[in-house]
Amino acid sequence: MMKRLGIEMLDKVILAGAFGSYIDPEEAMILGMFPDCDLKKVYAVGNAAGDGARIALLDRDKRAEADKIAREVEYIELTIEAQFQNEFMEAMQIPHMTDPSPISKGLCRTRSSTVNFRHRAKRIGIAVPAHL
């Protein structure tokens, strides 16, 4: 979907909720949970939905701002996007099959857990490219 929007690299990644608070950004990027990016620009914000709800309840101007933004959001139905299935399947390989991913590929080569990663991946039936 980034290609469709003309985006080559993310400016930042915001991880929300309990999941985002406890996930290791480096490992998540290696697994392809989000596109390759500068790990210094990956932030966990905690309970963003709860914080937003509190702000909207306490500040009428922020509530109006949130309503305006919600009306401007473009919803994309992935199941009808022509390229989504192909991109999804390519992204299943660790790291991504076709995206260059220089940051995450470099991490895969330097991490001390690479041998353990290969062993775990083989045990559960995941194909690991030879360059890792």
Instruction: Give the 3-state secondary structure of residue 35.
Output: coil
CA 80 to chain centre: 21
**C-alpha span between 91 and 74 (Å, rounded):** 23
Q: Provide the pLDDT for residue 99.
A: 66
Q: Which residue has the tokens 């360059």?
A: 131
Tokens of 67: 């309503």
pLDDT number for residue 112:
47
Query: For the purposes of burial, counting CB atoms within 10 Å of the CB of 104, is it exposed (0-12), middle (13-18) or buried (19 or more)?
Result: buried
Structural domain boundaries in the chain: 13-124
pLDDT at res. 89: 75
Residue by residue, pLDDT tens for the chain (132 residues) are 677 778 888 889 999 998 888 888 888 887 778 888 899 999 999 999 999 999 999 999 999 999 999 999 988 888 888 788 777 777 666 656 666 666 766 666 555 444 555 666 666 556 666 655
Fill in the DSSP letter of residue 59.
-
Confirm whether pTM is higher than 0.85: no
